[in-house]
Structure 1
Amino acid sequence: MEPLLLEKISAQAGIANEYINALGQRQTISAQTQRRLLDLMGHRSRTLTPPTPLVPPVAVWRSDEPMTLTPGIQGDCDWQLSTEQGAILRGNIPAGTPLRLPSGLACGYHQLTISQGAQVASSLVIVAPPRCYQPAALLAGKRLWGASIQLYTLRSAVNWGIGDTGDLKMMIREMARRGAAFVGLNPIHALYPAMPANASPYSPSSRRWLNTLYIDINNVEDFHHNPAAQQWWTHPDVQRALIDARAAVQVDYPRVSALKLTALRLCWQQFGRRTQHDPQRLDFAAFVRHGGDSLRHQAEFDALHELLAQQDNACSGWQAWPQKYRDIQGAEVAMFRQGHAQEITFYLWLQWLADRQFAECYDLCRTLGMPIGLYRDLAVGVSDGGAETWGDPALFCLGASVGAPPDVLGPQGQNWGLAPMDPLAMAERGYQPFIDLLRSNMRGCGALRIDHVMSLLRLWWIPRGDTAAQGAYVHYPMEALLAILALESQRHHCMVIGEDLGTVPEEIRGRLRDNGIYSYNVLFFEQNAHHEFLPPEAYAPQSMAAATTHDLPTLRGYWSAGDLFLGRQLGLYPDTAVLRYLHEDRQRSRQGLLDALHRHGSLPKNTPQQAKGLVMSPRLNRAMHRYLADSASALLGVQPEDWLDIATPVNVPGTSDQYPNWRRKLTRTLEEMFANPGINRLLRDINRRRL
């Protein structure tokens, strides 16, 4: 293919032929990478001049802009608009003139039909509000704060070795009592019941359904009503296993999963004894109907995966399954569906339980008057071997994975093993997959954090078998996705926070800001090239401030450079010159942060002025929290790891088996943590400064 033709076809498919790297340098994408990605996208993206449709399959407008459309047809034609609200509007379009849809059209999803004789074409018309939803408290200028937690890390006197919705309720009550507006969660997406050791919340099986390990079995009625369940639970061996799981420093996912699934199967037996008209059975049936094919596919995947894992302990994602089970529409899967209906229904029931328990948590937030309540996290993608790709493979480009290009900290780039959605398939389906994704994640929460919000604009695609450095950016229809995001945000009364860390063009930040999306400001990154930290009053009001994230060191880890020492042990920094530079840079950052804390008055005056030799202390920890609490950011998220002065991170990017990612628990139980005088003083101080 000629270079010019390749460039044109790649541009049509959204494949960038160059990008600006983390050092500000222009990088060119090889012709080989462009050709490979075009092949993965299929023939639809390889037609240089695609036929012009009578009307596009979907048209997206904002409610405050003119809505005009020029049909690809000669001569007069008629139009009909069936609105979401049930009205039907009609008219005629004279030859050569555009269709101007009526002003004042309500926000929503409407159906437009263009006809001329026997020629008829339809288009989905999406009308969106100008901006995403904002809670009344933020519109009134209040500065809110809350806890950002990794739910699985929570300890309590009664959980089963992993934080669950019962612990979340305790967290909500305690934080609300101390003035917090929200409790933020890690992604709670569905993982793999048959592979409990695959614990990363950012590599889910599906983003539409839930991680059932978070079910609080203590809050399941059928567990207490089933004599067999109670007999099992009181057995000395089970009690010892529970005590060991609870006391473990890290979440023992296989043990926790075995305990919980055993208990839940006993609960399921009791649930089956309920009468047909029992309110819970009726609610479960309604949940299954509403969940549709997506929910059914999730349950079928989990049931089939469990069966195959029992036969082969090494069985992983569906691409490694026997060929006969890889096609969800195939005859063998249909036979499995018929022969294992009860097991599939069990997994449907687990999703219902998890959904209802998380809904109870959000209801508790609202009862306690929290202005935001639960704050969920949407992962950037799904694992290529999970339920979502198995159930709808045509929506994804399964020959590629998502990652990041090379940078200073990751000279080889990153491959996250996530399957990218095909932007062409999304558009052809009227963006319904994106709409469904938002609805699933905005239900039952007051805020949604979008991990790697730049995914609304572009994702780094890596052809299978290539290195991360051999990838390219593939662009997505950002304006359409932003409009739909605003519409669903307003409908669900769910504000949106975009994780916009890293290299983000300023014009894109501005576009996100104009759409009502709150940015994400992390203390460690709010410094310039001279290591001068941004003063609290200069933080952007339309933002969420945080000390750190799940991918970064804790406050203690950052100050002691523990993350760099750990990275060296794990082999992440083979170049000693790079590691030496990072240590020197950290020392300069520490000094810059200490200077900023002194300038702002966050530290007592008798605190040393030099960072070198100054160790982390309760005084320094409080100062960092005070500094952030005084920020102009409308939102502040603080994490228990920093209240407890934990040194080790929850996740080390770039590692898999080298470090126990997503397993480290908090060092104290919730009961102990909220009885601690020092922690209570810190939280009172934060609350006072945010008022």
Structure 2
Amino acid sequence: MSESDIQAPPEVDADLAALATVHGVATEYEDNTGSMRPVPGETVRAVLHALGVPAADEKEVLASLDDAEVAPWRRFLPPSAVVRAGQTTTIPVHAPADTSVVLTLQLEDGTELPMALRPDTIAPRLVDGVPIARSFVDLPEDLPQGWHRLRAAVGEGRRHRAHRRATTTVAVVPQRLPDPLDGGRGWGAMAQLYSMRSAHSWGLGDLADLAELADLTGTLGGDFLLINPLHAAEPTAPMSDSPYLPATRRFVNPIYIRPEDIREAAYLAGPERALVHWAAEEVREMNSSAELLNRNAVWSAKSEALSVIYAAPRSLARQSAFERFRAREGRGLEDFALWCALYEEHGNSPWPPELLDAYGPHVARVRRRLAGRIDFFAWLQWVADEQLAAAQRQASQSGMGIGIMHDLAVGVHGSSAEVWTDAEVFATGVTVGAPPDMYNQQGQDWSQPPWRPDRLAETGYAPLRNMLRTVLRHAGAIRVDHIMGLFRLWWVPQGRPASEGTYVTYDGEAMLGVLLLEASRAGAVVIGEDLGTVEPEVREQLAERGVLGSDVLWFAKSRKGRPLPPSRYRTGALATVTTHDLPPSAGYLAGEHVDLRRRLGLLTRPAEVERMAFESERAAILNALRSEGLINEDPTEREIVEALHGYVARTAAVLVGMAFTDAVGERRTQNQPGTFTEYPNWRLPLADGAEEPVSIEELARSPRLHSLVERIRTEMDRADLARHARAEAGPRE
């Protein structure tokens, strides 16, 4: 196709651009090459429509502009406020003129503080036939961190119902999270838990295996274990393989439960014990198989066993503990368990219309009918929570400074429990993705509906808050996948390619503040995956607030495109050699990512050009390793892999990560972005370079693992001593 055949996107006129700007919709963006790209007008209008903003023609655009201008005056109080601790914050109040307004701030502990109004200097404005005056309330700077409520009410006898009373959420959040490891440095391991199997697994790695891996990592001197998201998937087959496309991020996938570790399993009678044993035998032979992982078979066997254990009597104390768990989790757990029960009956096929309203009268009747199944699915979450707690305890007991590092996915799939229970918070007609870049040249569509920024604010960020509390409950750290999603997301209108999306802005200050508040309460470290196109000011803001970044060796380049020297890596980061979206180091060094994308038709330039670019990249990194004295002139693959980790260990990064795949010589990537069925994403068991499976027991005995860990620890110690010596010597004259 010639350049003359490529049509330029429709131009966005000044009025449409103004409306888009008001609602945080980009009309142009900077691509991965630094060039500015215009957004098609059709995309802009579709995204505005998904935000509930009419913009089909010029008349609608102008009317929507007028509505946007007057919208704040129609609100008694803003939808929510997220403020930093120690800062004075001003909140606007709009009420009918010549009325008295009573303001009260109710703190999280129930304390009530009267608030005073400060009148504005501008005259009242006529809004919908009512003169509205604007005033301000100044919140004191010494408010405690937490979730508070600001309440406003006008005097009695007013007819203006819209301004009679209002309540808004006020979240007071930390200025900054403390430095991890008391300002020291540490290393840790990274694992796709489902792929890490032991002799007692049920065909997939589970929470008992997580405890074993944590103990292994801690015994080797590691401070953290980063794992894939454990978010809940569908409760019946077919179950999604991707841990990044869950049914909810708030609850856990019960496929990770180890049935035998449930206390009641130890007291089963002979016949019931045999049923659990037989179920395990059906899948346990998979533990030593090199075949692709089969979640559906595993869940079929495991759910049978769990049903048997669930039916066993529980002691009074155990039943009380379960009931307390349900009470603590509240409506969120009950709604998710109901969704699971309904999914059992209706699957992924279109549900009857009367079931689409999660809070309608028909669903209320169904809730009563399915009470038994709801109890079962709530019980699964309780059991998973107990086993997660045990894994984190084991991590601490093994000497880890941080423990389990959980991963938070960007979103959920369109027919998920979250969309069903919180439908009003999600945008329709669009999905989340990413624009084209060097590794995904056609862009990415992640098939996830995005949260609407306006609706999040109106809920007081409750969906984000509730999700974070669950994920952080038994975590020493959290890695936030695509942390730019707190600030902006790439929205793709349905039916259009991922390259024809646009960015939608979120209130990053508020979203980040909620994350910091919940992480602070959990005592957790926060790592933001800030790879790809990220504005410098966003990285600066994350660093200012104590959020670590992510530095990946293959992506860390100087402005001239050369490997970034260890001395120029960020201190406030988790530094690694690779990620789960790339082949392990041995595979990357062989250029398998180029060959794979060529086979799958994912390249946008000739394979020969891609291969030449990779050969140049590999030569540059080998030269960098030689310049650091980490390899000789003719190193083996294993020596290069260890040298790559030694290179990262020499950086000042506060955390250094090592993938278990690199510790066994695995070459295959766990996930190839831009594919769905074309590649077996998230289904590969841990294996060595010959694709022979490696169990956790074999991993623990692996000379290659111990050698790699020793290289990391040695290089970290040398680098730290060198930096300390330079600091002691002081600046050169």
Where do 1:207-226 residues align within 5 Å? 207-226=249-268
**Structure 1: distance between partners of 2:563 and 2:427:** 42
Q: 1:653 to 1:238 in 2, by over 3 A?
A: same
Q: 1:556 to 1:441 in 2, by over 3 A?
A: same
Q: 1:596 to 1:330 in 2, by over 3 A?
A: same
Structure 2 equivalent of residue 4 of structure 1: 14
Structure 1 equivalent of residue 304 of structure 2: 262
2:392 partner letter? Y
Structure 2 equivalent of residue 161 of structure 1: 203
1:262 partner letter? E
Q: What is the Cα deviation at residue 44 of structure 1?
A: 9.0
For the pair 1:282 / 2:325, whether they are aligned, the reply is: no
**Structure 2: distance between partners of 1:298 and 1:95:** 46
Structure 2 equivalent of residue 559 of structure 1: 589
Q: Secondary structure at the match of 1:204?
A: coil
Say which is worse superposed, 511-520 or 294-303, in terms of deviation.
294-303
Q: 1:86 to 1:197 in 2, by over 3 A?
A: closer
Structure 1 equivalent of residue 723 of structure 2: none
For the pair 1:578 / 2:606, whether they are aligned, the reply is: yes
Q: What is the Cα deviation at residue 407 of structure 1?
A: 3.4
Q: Give a deviation string over 1:233-253, Cα, whole Å, max 9, x none.
A: 445x96354214542432111
Check the 8 A contact 2:202/2:298 in 1, yes or no: yes
1:132 partner letter? L
Check the 8 A contact 2:426/2:449 in 1, yes or no: yes
Task: Work out which structure has the larger RCO, using CA pairs closer than 8 Å and 6 or more positions apart in sequence.
Answer: 1
**Structure 1: distance between partners of 2:539 and 2:642:** 31
Q: How many residue pairs are counted as aligned between the two chains?
A: 665
For the pair 1:110 / 2:148, whether they are aligned, the reply is: yes
Say which is worse superposed, 546-555 or 289-298, in terms of deviation.
289-298
Structure 2 equivalent of residue 129 of structure 1: 174
Structure 1 equivalent of residue 539 of structure 2: 509
Where do 1:56-67 residues align within 5 Å? 56-67=78-89
Structure 2 equivalent of residue 228 of structure 1: 271
Structure 2 equivalent of residue 684 of structure 1: 710
Which of 339, 345, 369 does residue 375 from structure 2 map onto? 345
Q: 1:493 to 1:240 in 2, by over 3 A?
A: closer
Structure 2 equivalent of residue 618 of structure 1: 638
Q: Secondary structure at the match of 1:660?
A: coil
| TM-score, structure 1 normalization | 0.92
Q: What is the Cα deviation at residue 530 of structure 1?
A: 4.3
For the pair 1:83 / 2:107, whether they are aligned, the reply is: yes
Q: 1:388 to 1:121 in 2, by over 3 A?
A: closer
Check the 8 A contact 1:133/1:486 in 2, yes or no: no
Q: Secondary structure at the match of 1:48?
A: helix
Q: What is the Cα deviation at residue 28 of structure 1?
A: 1.7
**Structure 1: distance between partners of 2:276 and 2:81:** 56
Q: Secondary structure at the match of 2:237?
A: coil
Structure 2 equivalent of residue 312 of structure 1: none
2:170 partner letter? V
**Structure 1: distance between partners of 2:534 and 2:205:** 34
Check the 8 A contact 1:108/1:128 in 2, yes or no: yes
Q: What is the Cα deviation at residue 202 of structure 1?
A: 0.5
Q: What is the Cα deviation at residue 190 of structure 1?
A: 0.5
1:41 partner letter? L
Which of 657, 660, 681 does residue 637 from structure 1 map onto? 657
Structure 2 equivalent of residue 99 of structure 1: 137
**Structure 2: distance between partners of 1:65 and 1:51:** 23
Check the 8 A contact 1:153/1:666 in 2, yes or no: yes
Q: 1:596 to 1:43 in 2, by over 3 A?
A: closer
Where do 1:366-385 residues align within 5 Å? 366-385=396-415
Q: What is the Cα deviation at residue 306 of structure 1?
A: 1.7
Q: 1:563 to 1:92 in 2, by over 3 A?
A: closer
**Structure 1: distance between partners of 2:72 and 2:369:** 46
Identity across the alignment (%): 34
| TM-score, structure 2 normalization | 0.87
Say which is worse superposed, 321-330 or 654-663, in terms of deviation.
321-330
Q: What is the Cα deviation at residue 27 of structure 1?
A: 1.6
Check the 8 A contact 2:203/2:283 in 1, yes or no: no
Q: What is the Cα deviation at residue 637 of structure 1?
A: 1.0
Say which is worse superposed, 27-36 or 212-221, in terms of deviation.
27-36
Q: What is the Cα deviation at residue 98 of structure 1?
A: 4.1
Check the 8 A contact 2:219/2:399 in 1, yes or no: no
Q: What is the Cα deviation at residue 31 of structure 1?
A: 2.3
2:670 partner letter? V
Q: Secondary structure at the match of 1:674?
A: helix
Structure 1 equivalent of residue 430 of structure 2: 400
Q: What is the Cα deviation at residue 301 of structure 1?
A: 1.6
Q: What is the Cα deviation at residue 472 of structure 1?
A: 1.5
Say which is worse superposed, 671-680 or 528-537, in terms of deviation.
528-537
Q: What is the Cα deviation at residue 104 of structure 1?
A: 1.7
Which of 572, 580, 584 does residue 550 from structure 1 map onto? 580
Check the 8 A contact 1:83/1:110 in 2, yes or no: yes
**Structure 1: distance between partners of 2:362 and 2:138:** 51
1:496 partner letter? V
Structure 1 equivalent of residue 61 of structure 2: none
Q: What is the Cα deviation at residue 389 of structure 1?
A: 0.5
1:486 partner letter? L
**Structure 2: distance between partners of 1:238 and 1:113:** 56
Q: 1:38 to 1:229 in 2, by over 3 A?
A: same
**Structure 1: distance between partners of 2:660 and 2:202:** 20
Check the 8 A contact 1:384/1:398 in 2, yes or no: no
Say which is worse superposed, 335-344 or 632-641, in terms of deviation.
335-344
Check the 8 A contact 1:228/1:266 in 2, yes or no: no
Q: Give a deviation string over 1:174-213, Cα, whole Å, max 9, x none.
A: 1111100011110110011213441100000000000111
**Structure 2: distance between partners of 1:91 and 1:586:** 63
For the pair 1:591 / 2:619, whether they are aligned, the reply is: yes
Check the 8 A contact 1:223/1:263 in 2, yes or no: no
Check the 8 A contact 1:55/1:122 in 2, yes or no: yes
1:265 partner letter? S
Q: What is the Cα deviation at residue 673 of structure 1?
A: 1.1
Check the 8 A contact 2:670/2:683 in 1, yes or no: yes
Say which is worse superposed, 352-361 or 118-127, in terms of deviation.
118-127
1:325 partner letter? L
Q: Give a deviation string over 1:128-156, Cα, whole Å, max 9, x none.
A: 22112433x242xx111111110001021
Q: What is the Cα deviation at residue 109 of structure 1?
A: 2.1
**Structure 2: distance between partners of 1:77 and 1:211:** 48
**Structure 2: distance between partners of 1:66 and 1:484:** 18
Q: 1:592 to 1:531 in 2, by over 3 A?
A: farther
Q: What is the Cα deviation at residue 2 of structure 1?
A: 9.8
Structure 2 equivalent of residue 492 of structure 1: 522
Q: Secondary structure at the match of 1:89?
A: strand
Check the 8 A contact 2:199/2:287 in 1, yes or no: no
**Structure 2: distance between partners of 1:565 and 1:32:** 36
Check the 8 A contact 1:21/1:27 in 2, yes or no: yes
**Structure 2: distance between partners of 1:304 and 1:68:** 46
Check the 8 A contact 1:552/1:652 in 2, yes or no: yes
**Structure 1: distance between partners of 2:250 and 2:178:** 21
2:81 partner letter? A
Q: What is the Cα deviation at residue 357 of structure 1?
A: 0.5
Structure 2 equivalent of residue 611 of structure 1: none
Say which is worse superposed, 53-62 or 635-644, in terms of deviation.
53-62
Q: What is the Cα deviation at residue 232 of structure 1?
A: 2.3
**Structure 2: distance between partners of 1:437 and 1:148:** 23
Q: Give a deviation string over 1:560-609, Cα, whole Å, max 9, x none.
A: 00111122222223x5x432222111111111111111111212x4x33x
1:163 partner letter? G
Check the 8 A contact 2:432/2:491 in 1, yes or no: yes
Structure 1 equivalent of residue 344 of structure 2: 306
Structure 2 equivalent of residue 27 of structure 1: 37
**Structure 2: distance between partners of 1:238 and 1:109:** 45
Structure 1 equivalent of residue 418 of structure 2: 388
